[in-house]
Structure 1
């Protein structure tokens, strides 16, 4: 599941975040967002790792740092009348479900209670829903540069999370087959895009 999700996330970063950001405003806003997202995830992951060791917390942090800007972009798209592409929704689902399953199973192995895990995912869901509402509310005041920067932020956070947590954990758990399953996840999500 982690390997498949990693492939889907690589596709989402490539086609739904980075490429869309470039179309919206060019390279500078996307690059600034990319750097901000990567540095934010890197720093936040180090803090989380001190309190909750293991890949589960890192994957949950990745879901949060990816989810908030992703949902803000969806809110902006809805408010501007662009709608939401089915391919983006499918890519979000295809990538986030394995990420959530992997994080939850790692947290259970680390002896976190089911209630704690459910509260954590509930908080992530509420924050992401609020990000959609915020994106919808500020859509008229945002430019393509802001949306491109948000896309870049999500892409940067995701890339660091993929390399630091998700891909190594998938390879550790599944062995060499993880690479093939990652390609399958990429292909499915890319096909949906």
Structure 2
């Protein structure tokens, strides 16, 4: 249920893109807010919790593997997209998967380990999905994709991300602390590369000089929720 709620923002973003046009500035500010929330989640929900539960070595190994895996997969997606406009929809969907799967695996792992949802991580995932889905859906519609195709693509992505939450819960429930910490480190590494290579530059480009302030607000909110929960 929590995984479906987090992933539902992908479909919400697609629907919002269908209903109206969103300015680049608005999308950029939401991207900045989501980036700040994810930075807090990486710091407090992934790295800190991982080190506390399984040790720094496991988290460090996971960080390196996650960063490398995301960088290689992202390069493959960009190469596929460069082949032509006709392939535009699939790389966008795959890019969302690259972001979403590690996030939601950790969300499910946290549920299995602690028995309760991380509100901070849930908010970070939900908010960060929105601008990605809105912007990507708008691009697909502009390139001639039908509304049914756009909604179908994001529906598939949302379902896979939801299943990743269940997979994370099962993996953590049957894994030793070191493996759990490695999974958290892997997700943190993947998300950090995504933030620096994609999300933060896009937020600055579209949101302008207010993008940094929006990022701080997102970080403060998610950090506060982490402390409260």
TM over 0.5: yes
Alignment of 1:1-193 (within 5 A): 1-52=30-81, 61=94, 63-80=96-113, 82-108=115-141, 112-193=145-226
1:146 is displaced (CA, Å) by 1.5
Deviations 1:33-89 (A, max 9, x none): 111111111111111112226xx9887555423432333333344445622233332
Per mean C-alpha deviation after superposition, the further-off stretch among 105-114 and 128-137 is: 105-114
Which moves more between the two structures, 11-20 or 130-139?
130-139
Structure having the higher Rg: 2
In the alignment, structure 2 segments of 5+ residues that lack a partner are 1-29, 83-88
CA contact (8 A) 1:59 1:161 kept: no
- Count of paired positions: 193
In 1, the alpha carbon distance for the partners of 2:127 and 2:144 equals 27
- Which shows bigger deviation, 113-122 or 170-179? 113-122
**Structure 1 stretches lacking a partner, 5+ long:** none
